[in-house]
Structure 1
């Protein structure tokens, strides 16, 4: 190793391939690397998330990632402001000493920035320039914030999962939710390019129900048991919501800027009301935690009821549709209702999704010089 302790400092707002190359380069050259995530409180991606993302990607045992709040102004000509920045960086490094581990002197600072030599000098360390013209990875945090889609290839799985626009298709049984979700994802995948990886997440609740019924039949030794014989507990709906959310996150990590979901925790909470008869605050908490950006409610209108052996019955469709519509409106969730033939439904869903994507992403501006 050329250096004992390397230092990488950045906003990582958000992290991208250029950042990861910078950290990996330092890791190859140093016995120990400290990465300081220096975030301002005006920025909209939480510091804790950025820190967690980097820790997930950089699991080398000799690389440590530390959060630091840096609200100092940006002025590369001011010695006083430089001192404030360095104090914030050292405060991040001091977390190690707070754990009873002494902070070894920094002998190399790795950057791709013009201010790198000055920063290194403030730590009495050597400066190692890593691809300043960004030839290997032509990307920057500013470019990602301005156009995540154009820079999607440079984003790591956890950042993709955070940024992916999630569209949830919800509705009563036998109203075409699965058909529409699958078709909507296929429409965008057919665009090719970054969109070719567009995924859809099937409804986990159905899989769970099938497994629950099979287990009940085995336990009772009675293959004639059916859905009406099952007894549902609130904890099961939470399990369904959590598992569905995990499947969504897994798909979003490897997918395009759009993820289509066949139902979500919001709809699962309404199903809890249907089977248990009470609100589901724990399921609601999953809904609050997992962001969705558009809901598409499938109306029974134009869809004949089909009993595939796993459905409640046609009589429940109006009630369920009404409750979903009522809750979407009450919570002011962005949504549309689709009805009529499948082609009309898909066209309406595509138009709403196009509008969502055209709205882009919103990031608060970082502090600038």
Structure 2
């Protein structure tokens, strides 16, 4: 007889306790079904939470329960609703083992006619809960996979022309919020590889890849927020300025960048121009700034302008972050 396992939950977020249960089940049954409920306890959408399991465990059959029973209770009325819902999803398919680490394993396994398989119910093997992680992901970082953790971090990028204060602001905010930042990889690359203040077209792909690698490393060590100085969209603007075209990979990464970040801030060119050897003058800054704004508008990317002194800019970022909820429509508010 085929051994068919089933487990269910919100996985908000998926943590290593969940993973231990899933891996235990995979070792014991021929096939495993994971049912994931929609929930209000986290802003992270259901399909993203389902995606974590699909990527980590491609052999698992994941069912997204968008209309599943709400709440969490040992009230018999609620139990009946949940049992009825799950049996309806299975449509006659016979589950042989029901996996859980909580009390509901009893009533669900009876309703399914399945073995009640409790895994690490006292949380001695993996002493964590999703509630604990939601309260402070950074504190409980060791209990969350890299794949999941990156989706728990608010990714904030600062764009603007040269000498608009992006680097200073990014580092200052990282210090204020006790987190990491990703500096502009392109500037470091250009300084090391430029010849007569120029770099080749293919170098812009290397810059885009290098910047993403720098971001990913900082992201996995971030605390709530990651602050990023410049992105591939701006790198593409430099490629167009240098060569009149953008290499294919950079163009694709720039397209994907619109969805990579939670918040875009535009550093305005209202501060004094810092005329260092590697820059091309204030007039060039003004032109480049207009081009960046036009590109953001063309891509339909909502952005928040930052003006004034460093403290004024930081206060504006503070205001936005205080009211921002990931995966929600923030931009209904006045910016």
TM-score by length of 2: 0.73
Alpha-carbon distance change, 80 to 175 in structure 1, aligned in 2, over 3 angstroms: closer
Q: Do the aligned residues in 1 keep the contact of 2:232 with 2:257 (CA within 8 Å)? A: yes
Q: Which has the higher contact order (CA 8 A, sep 6+)?
A: 1
- Match of residue 20 from structure 1: 19
- Match of residue 9 from structure 1: 8
Alpha-carbon distance change, 8 to 85 in structure 1, aligned in 2, over 3 angstroms: closer
What secondary structure does 1:301 align onto? coil
What secondary structure does 1:68 align onto? strand
Cα distance in 2 for partners of 1:248, 1:150 equals: 17
Match of 1:178 among 167, 170, 195: 167
Q: Is 1:352 paired with 2:333?
A: no
Q: Is 1:209 paired with 2:199?
A: no
What secondary structure does 1:226 align onto? coil
Q: Do the aligned residues in 2 keep the contact of 1:48 with 1:67 (CA within 8 Å)? A: no
Shift of 1:298: 5.2
Alpha-carbon distance change, 226 to 151 in structure 1, aligned in 2, over 3 angstroms: same
Unpaired segments ≥5 residues, structure 1: 95-104, 190-197, 214-224, 365-369
RMSD value, Cα = 4.0
Q: How many residues align?
A: 314
Cα distance in 2 for partners of 1:268, 1:16 equals: 36
Cα distance in 1 for partners of 2:147, 2:177 equals: 22
- Match of residue 334 from structure 1: 303
Unpaired segments ≥5 residues, structure 2: 71-75, 329-335
Q: Do the aligned residues in 2 keep the contact of 1:139 with 1:151 (CA within 8 Å)? A: no
- Match of residue 73 from structure 2: none
1:93-112 pair list within 5 angstroms: 106-112=95-101
Cα distance in 2 for partners of 1:41, 1:188 equals: 29
Cα distance in 2 for partners of 1:166, 1:349 equals: 17
Q: Is 1:140 paired with 2:130?
A: yes
TM-score by length of 1: 0.67
Cα distance in 2 for partners of 1:254, 1:183 equals: 17
Q: Do the aligned residues in 2 keep the contact of 1:37 with 1:67 (CA within 8 Å)? A: yes
1:22-61 pair list within 5 angstroms: 22-23=21-22, 26=25, 30=28, 34-40=32-38, 45=44, 49-54=48-53
Alpha-carbon distance change, 35 to 269 in structure 1, aligned in 2, over 3 angstroms: same
